[in-house]
Structures are given as C-alpha cells and as structure tokens.
Amino acid sequence: METVTLSSKGQLVIPIGVRNDAHLATGSRLQVFYLDGEIRLRPLPDPSASSLDTVAGCLFKPARKPLSESQTQAAIRARLKARNAP
C-alpha cells in the first residue's frame, strides 16, 4: 500500500505503480467520489477512443430520405471541388 501527501493546492501524486496498473497517462480523467469514509478515484473512458457501436446511427434523421448512389457521388464530387478550389 502506497502513501501520498496532499499539497496545499489540494493536489496529490498517484504513485507510478498505481498509474501503470490502472493504465493512466498524462491527461487521463478520473471520477472522484467519497463513499463510506473513503475517497475513491475511478478512471473515466477516453472520449477520443470510440467504437463504431458507440457512434452508429448518430447521424440518422427519420425525415431524411436516403440519396441514390449517383446523388451520393455527385455530393462527394461537389464537396471535393469546393474544398480544393483556390
């Protein structure tokens, strides 16, 4: 069991062994809560690491009608032309 000291700013350093075991890196986010006389830290999932399942259907709009293949290709060409225009 490791011991840490709280700084005057309310900060503490998580020992390297604990950080490695918990796969924590610079910028990792932790949930902090007080429960039954203990202060607990729980790593939060990395928001940048999303799977297809978590974002599947996020662009779905029931009122939107699907485009045909030719309409899709035309829209892609138009976007590329606009993006590459001087």
Residue 71: give the domain boundaries. 57-84
| DSSP class of 27 | T
* Residue 63 covered by a domain: yes
Q: Domain total for the chain?
A: 1
* Residue 35 covered by a domain: no
**DSSP for 32-77?**
EEEETTEEEEEEPPPTT---HHHHTTTT--TTPPPPPHHHHHHHHH
pTM score over 0.95: no
* Residue 75 covered by a domain: yes
* Residue 8 covered by a domain: no
* Residue 20 covered by a domain: no
* Residue 68 covered by a domain: yes
pLDDT of residue 50: 67
- Beta-carbon contacts of 34 under 8 Å, excluding residues fewer than 6 positions away, are 40
pLDDT tens-place string over residues 7-43:
999 999 999 999 999 999 998 999 999 999 999 999 9
* Residue 37 covered by a domain: no
